[in-house]
Amino acid sequence: MDESGRDAAHRAASDAELIAWVDEQDNLLGSLVRSDLRERGLIGRGTYIMLFNSVGELCVHRRTLSKAIYPGYWDVAAGGMVQAHESYAESAARELAEELGVSGVELVAHDHFYFEDTGSRLWCSAFSAVWDGPLVLQPEEVLEARFLPVEQVLDEIRHKPYCPDSLAALGRYLRARECGVAKKL
């Protein structure tokens, strides 16, 4: 299968996943197919995993052009929608392994918050992890990835398209870190 066929097949499978459907207080209402959840403007659950290396650089990656939301944007977190049968932590571990090939690391939970933007209504849980090994990128979702100093990432977001939902998670993490609430890496 060529690259465009692989991307289309992945997108179709992704749109058909059963996603946790929740209310405004993050109470589970059931599950819905991802595309239905998005099209009907209902609330789902999402995870964000900020991956740092041991010197404190943040992994940023560029999303594929076939993504339904924010195609081609840069992202400061691995992550995605929580499937119907998963906890936030289970989803975070699955997404980190799928997107960046990172597994067996400690995931530190940092925040739980609501995010809303055009085409996206989510209850979110943010995590962080530390990894110095190789990255194995999921070609259907990630075009490229690199570790950058956080200051450089904060500069880049002013002139490159970055996903606003993961930027919200990063911003909350950095504010908590400044207050001594989040672990400083």
Binding residues for Mg(2+) are 95, 99
What residue spans of the chain are helical by DSSP H? 3-15, 34-39, 88-100, 150-156, 164-178
Amino acid sitting at position 88: Y
Q: Which residues are annotated as a binding site?
A: 95, 99
Q: Is the dihedral of CA 114, 115, 120, 126 positive or negative?
A: negative
* H/E segment holding residue 3: helix 3-15
